Amino acid sequence: MLVPISWLKDYVDIDVTVDELEKRLFDCGFEVEEKYEVGKDISKVVVGLVEECEPIPETHLHVCKVNVGTGENLQICCGADNVCTGKKFPVALEGATVYATAKDHVTIEGVMTIKKGKLRGYESFGMLCSGTELGVSEDMYPGAGYNGLLELPADAETGADVKTILGLDDYIFDISITANRPDCQSIFGIAREVAAILEKPLKEPNLSYTENGRAKEGFKVTVEAQDLCPRYIGHYVSDVKIGESPAWMKRRLALVGLKAISNIVDITNYILKELGQPMHAFDEDFLEGNAINVRRAKDGEKIVTLDEKEFTLNPSNLVICDGVKPVALAGIMGGLNSEIRDTTAGVVFEAAKFARDNIRKSSRALGQGSDSSARFTKGVDEYTTVMAMKRALHLVEELGCGKVSSTHVEVSSGNSIEPKEMKASLNKVNGVLGVDVPKADVERILKNLNFNPVINGDEITIQIPAYREDMEDYPDIAEEVIRMYGYDNVTCTFLETAKVTAGGLNTHQKAELKLKRALCTTGASEGMHYSFFSPTDLDLLRLPEDASERKTIRILNPINEDLSAMRTTLAPQMIRAMARNQKRGRMSGRIYEIGNRFIPKELPLTDYPKELSTLCVGVFGNNETFFTLKGIAEVVAESLCISFKYAAPEPKIPYLHPYQSAEILDAATGERVGYLGKVIYEIQDELDAREAMFVMEIDLSLLEKYYGNVTKFEPIPKFADESRDLALVMNRSVTCGEVEDAIKEACKYVKKVTLFDVYEGKQIADDKKSMAFTILFVPQEEEFTAEAVDGYVKKILKNLKNKLEIELRQ
């Protein structure tokens, strides 16, 4: 929120520097996010009296002698049309900084430093300035908008710094206000805090007025939707004379970024900034039926707002109506049909409190907002609503733009605007802090904050002003006390009264970390992707329309389509990451991610969906194969002390190579827990990836039951083991897995079967291949004899022949 220091000074004497004030506010919970000096770019510009002014022949220029209070007049050339003797203008001296303007003398193009120069042979020792060149608009200083020199008042002291005269020495704080302090969303609200911080008296704005206007007979206000409008105040002002606001008001509005429009409208805007109460003024001529009704809009009802946008409404929108039609979108914007005109002669001022949630929802749903709706959304208190109407009527009088009538209609649901009493225990307050703040300090702090405290033994009684809606209980008092007493007084203790507890990761968390570390040993680095992805990611995977992955949970208000669906597979983001790495010059690598997939039980959601912990591994580069990725799958199995089996996927996985892909099965249960394979070339091409990519997904939620598994120690065998190498010839369709199974089932002493060679070629028949295995036999009861092992080999060969037509290679 923008707070000009000059404005703040209306309500509290500030006797500290701007930097000190900034620090004190920060310590009390109000961070000054930006601090602007209004004339930060302007320097060395003084009041100059033009004493001589001669035209330079055949040009529009004049050469002037200017008194700048130094006793010696400066010669300055000037092209402005309003330069003349006897008047005072701003003079930028040599070395001064002012704004450089474009040829139009209006558009600011940067900051320039004034140097001694020569124009048409005449030396010039400075520059006479326009308002634009000093960054001053018409609203900030009357006359500054003229496209020529800015004329200064005759009584301005020659040689004085113009920054003071033009208000360029002012500072503006942009203060961030926390959501619990809507009462500080105004300059007066901040003034209350500053008064408490600096321990200075607070000067209230003038609220007095006299009712001498013409009454509005029969005027009626009805609030049908009292739940959305707990207080509505309407006050009629007659004999309105629409005109310009005085310079001081225009200037203040300009400082906080508002354009002056007309006195009546400016009063409402001024109060919004001063007190934080949005107000509205209706032209009485447009109020049909001499009435105002605050109600929910009817379905399909239409309104055109001041900015000429039309909205079709429904009963969730609150409208202000006259006796017939909507004249304002409550709290958001007035209607075009009741706008203040130059000829407006009577107005009804509105100050109201609208429910913040309703204003927020309406504003969002309609896509229409304003300073008022932003303010209502943060919360307005009724104490301020009442105060604001008085202030508006005072300003009408002060500006002389109308006569305050006695027609005042206030509809309230009965909320009190009187202070509310609260009692608390001093011990409890200090107990929250762990600091014993001296009683006198507690009393002083609460007094400064207008809580009128009375401390009696351990009991504090305070009177909470109605604008402090955040004060509910003793912890709130604790916060008020400590932020004023100083957080520096909170020294460290280390859980002295807390019980000892047992901490650390649980089995599940430990297993996951172990798995991550195991994956790192394979050379894979851990990545992290968003939990949401684009629905088109599923198109990338060529998944059919009825694929289960397409049943995604959608975000109702996504940032964009690319981040709009909760992911049902981790594969597309991984594939994209692999392709992206290649585009950035990394042609090989290994990445893994452990994250959740989101599977709805039903859509739209009425219950928590399943969040399934899933591992995704991606490997890419010309040194990677199906088997290098399969090796990583084996590391996963090992980390969990289980084993996997692999089978051709049925049906095929649309984004994987039809013959270089597999389902991963839990060997103990046969349950499918994942898949792996080579990403199809079509996807590789689509993503411009040069090198092959392989991807694997394993549903860890199916393996959680094994988390915490530990391997049991197996005693070292007493007897020496034996191994035999067998080269086998078989039909090409026979798989390695089938051979291994047939070998294992033929002899119980087979501990391990390891493929070490595959051959297809001239030395064997065309339709055959050869595979060579090392078979490890481990004795159980007694030492093997060579004959016994030979016997096992014979049995194995027999089984291979019977089952798979496999022969020993000759």
Partner 1 sequence: MQDLNELRDSINSIKEEIVNGVKEVRNSKALYEFKKTFLDSKAGKINALMKEMKNIPNELKAEFGKNVNELKNWAGVKFDELDASMKEAEAKQRYEDEKIDITMPAVKCSCGKLHPVTLVKNQLIDIFASMGFDVYEGTEIENDYYNFTALNTPQDHPARDMQDTFYLSPQFLLRTQTSSGQIHVMENRKPPIKILSPGKVFRSDDDATHSPMFTQMEGLVVDKGITLRDLKGMLEVMVKRIFGEGTTTRLRPSYFPFTEPSVEVDVSCFECGGTGCRLCKGTGWIEVLGAGIVNKKVLENCNIDSNEYSGLAFGVGVERLAMLKYGINNIKLLYESDLRVLEQLDE
Residues 521-580 that bind partner 1 (CB under 8 A): 521-532, 553-559, 563, 566, 573-574, 577, 580
Which range, of 52-60, 115-123, 483-491, 533-541, touches partner 1 by CB under 8 A? 483-491
Whole-number minimum distance, CB 180 to partner 1, in Å?
4
**Which CB atom, from 178 or from 536, has the smaller least distance to partner 1?**
178
Q: Which two tokens stand for residue 346?
A: 């009577």
Whole-number minimum distance, CB 587 to partner 1, in Å?
10
Q: What residues have CB less than 8 Å from 230, skipping those under 6 apart?
A: 353, 355, 382, 412, 413, 415
Whole-number minimum distance, CB 35 to partner 1, in Å?
13
**Which CB atom, from 606 or from 711, has the smaller least distance to partner 1?**
606
Whole-number minimum distance, CB 231 to partner 1, in Å?
16
* Interface pick for partner 1 out of 581, 614, 639, 684 (rule CB under 8 A): 581
Whole-number minimum distance, CB 300 to partner 1, in Å?
23
* Interface pick for partner 1 out of 590, 663, 773, 800 (rule CB under 8 A): 590
How far is the C-alpha of 95 from the C-alpha of 253, rounded, in Å?
32
* Interface pick for partner 1 out of 5, 445, 478, 680 (rule CB under 8 A): 478
Q: Determine which helix (DSSP H) or strand (DSSP E) holds 755, and give its type and residue range.
A: strand 750-759
Q: Which two tokens stand for residue 601?
A: 């039980």
The identity of residue 229, as a single letter, is C
Q: If binding is defined by CB under 8 A, does position 502 make contact with partner 1?
A: yes
Q: HSE (CB half, 13 Å, CA atoms) of 305?
A: 20
**Which CB atom, from 231 or from 378, has the smaller least distance to partner 1?**
378
* Interface pick for partner 1 out of 48, 182, 326, 346 (rule CB under 8 A): 182
- Burial class of residue 786, CB neighbours in 10 A (0-12, 13-18, 19+): exposed
Whole-number minimum distance, CB 28 to partner 1, in Å?
6
Q: What are phi and psi of 185, to 5 degrees?
A: -85, 40
**Which CB atom, from 24 or from 298, has the smaller least distance to partner 1?**
24
**Which CB atom, from 441 or from 479, has the smaller least distance to partner 1?**
479
Q: If binding is defined by CB under 8 A, does position 189 make contact with partner 1?
A: no
Residue carrying the six token digits 């989101």:
598
Residues 16-45 that bind partner 1 (CB under 8 A): 26-29
Whole-number minimum distance, CB 98 to partner 1, in Å?
28
Whole-number minimum distance, CB 360 to partner 1, in Å?
7
Whole-number minimum distance, CB 378 to partner 1, in Å?
5
- Binding residues for partner 1, rule CB under 8 A, total 93
**Which CB atom, from 322 or from 469, has the smaller least distance to partner 1?**
469
How far is the C-alpha of 510 from the C-alpha of 36, rounded, in Å?
53
How far is the C-alpha of 32 from the C-alpha of 20, rounded, in Å?
12
Whole-number minimum distance, CB 727 to partner 1, in Å?
34
Q: If binding is defined by CB under 8 A, does position 119 make contact with partner 1?
A: no
How far is the C-alpha of 729 from the C-alpha of 759, rounded, in Å?
9
Characterize the bridge pairing of strands 589-599 and 525-526: parallel
Per residue, what are the HEC states of 721-737?
Answer: CEEEEEEEEEECCCCHH
Whole-number minimum distance, CB 424 to partner 1, in Å?
12
* Interface pick for partner 1 out of 59, 70, 113, 178 (rule CB under 8 A): 178
**Which CB atom, from 103 or from 584, has the smaller least distance to partner 1?**
584
Q: Which of 129, 139, 132, 137 is nearest to 82 (CA)?
A: 129
Which range, of 69-77, 84-92, 271-279, 473-481, touches partner 1 by CB under 8 A? 473-481
DSSP for 677-696 reads EEEPHHHHHHTT--S-EEEE
* Interface pick for partner 1 out of 495, 710, 720, 786 (rule CB under 8 A): 495
Q: Determine which helix (DSSP H) or strand (DSSP E) holds 358, and give its type and residue range.
A: helix 356-366
Whole-number minimum distance, CB 608 to partner 1, in Å?
6
**Which CB atom, from 355 or from 396, has the smaller least distance to partner 1?**
355
Residues 405-424 that bind partner 1 (CB under 8 A): none
Which range, of 58-66, 401-409, 444-452, 582-590, touches partner 1 by CB under 8 A? 582-590
Q: What residues have CB less than 8 Å from 103, skipping those under 6 apart?
A: none
Q: HSE (CB half, 13 Å, CA atoms) of 574?
A: 32
Report helix angle 187-198 to 18-27, nearest 10: 90
**Which CB atom, from 48 or from 182, has the smaller least distance to partner 1?**
182
Q: What residues have CB less than 8 Å from 494, skipping those under 6 apart?
A: none
* Interface pick for partner 1 out of 104, 217, 418, 496 (rule CB under 8 A): 496
Residues 350-389 that bind partner 1 (CB under 8 A): 355-357, 360, 377-379
Residues 594-623 that bind partner 1 (CB under 8 A): 596, 598, 604-606, 608-609, 611
Whole-number minimum distance, CB 105 to partner 1, in Å?
37
Q: Which of 590, 578, 592, 523 is nearest to 690 (CA)?
A: 578
Q: Are 173 and 110 in contact (CB under 8 A)?
A: no
Residues 262-281 that bind partner 1 (CB under 8 A): none
Q: Euclidean distance between the first and final Cα of the chain, in Å?
A: 91
3 state DSSP class of 62: strand
3 state DSSP class of 754: strand
Q: In 10 A of CB 444, how many CB atoms?
A: 16
Q: If binding is defined by CB under 8 A, does position 762 make contact with partner 1?
A: no
Sign (positive or negative) of CA dihedral 788, 789, 790, 792: positive
Whole-number minimum distance, CB 596 to partner 1, in Å?
6
Q: If binding is defined by CB under 8 A, does position 475 make contact with partner 1?
A: yes
Residues 650-709 that bind partner 1 (CB under 8 A): none
Q: Which of 701, 683, 721 is nearest to 610 (CA)?
A: 701
Q: Are 95 and 63 in contact (CB under 8 A)?
A: no
Site mask for partner 1 (CB under 8 A), range 728-747, x = bound:
--------------------
**Which CB atom, from 413 or from 785, has the smaller least distance to partner 1?**
413
* Interface pick for partner 1 out of 490, 736, 758, 765 (rule CB under 8 A): 490
Residues 433-452 that bind partner 1 (CB under 8 A): 433-435
Whole-number minimum distance, CB 209 to partner 1, in Å?
32
Whole-number minimum distance, CB 526 to partner 1, in Å?
4
Which range, of 174-182, 193-201, 233-241, 331-339, touches partner 1 by CB under 8 A? 174-182
Q: Determine which helix (DSSP H) or strand (DSSP E) holds 237, and give its type and residue range.
A: strand 231-238
* Interface pick for partner 1 out of 213, 465, 589, 677 (rule CB under 8 A): 589
Q: If binding is defined by CB under 8 A, does position 180 make contact with partner 1?
A: yes
Between CA 526 and CA 531, with CA 527 as vertex, the angle to 5 degrees is: 135
Q: CA separation (Å) from 710 to 518, 638, 707, 713?
A: 15, 10, 9, 9
Residues 286-345 that bind partner 1 (CB under 8 A): none
Q: CA separation (Å) from 276 to 270, 282, 318, 386?
A: 9, 20, 21, 12
Q: Are 648 and 738 in contact (CB under 8 A)?
A: no
Q: What are phi and psi of 393, to 5 degrees?
A: -70, -35
Residues 217-246 that bind partner 1 (CB under 8 A): none
Q: 491 - beta bridge partners?
A: none
Q: If binding is defined by CB under 8 A, does position 498 make contact with partner 1?
A: yes
Q: Which two tokens stand for residue 437?
A: 């703040």
Q: Which two tokens stand for residue 219?
A: 């005027």
Whole-number minimum distance, CB 396 to partner 1, in Å?
32
**Which CB atom, from 46 or from 437, has the smaller least distance to partner 1?**
437
* Interface pick for partner 1 out of 440, 500, 710, 720 (rule CB under 8 A): 500
Q: If binding is defined by CB under 8 A, does position 635 make contact with partner 1?
A: no
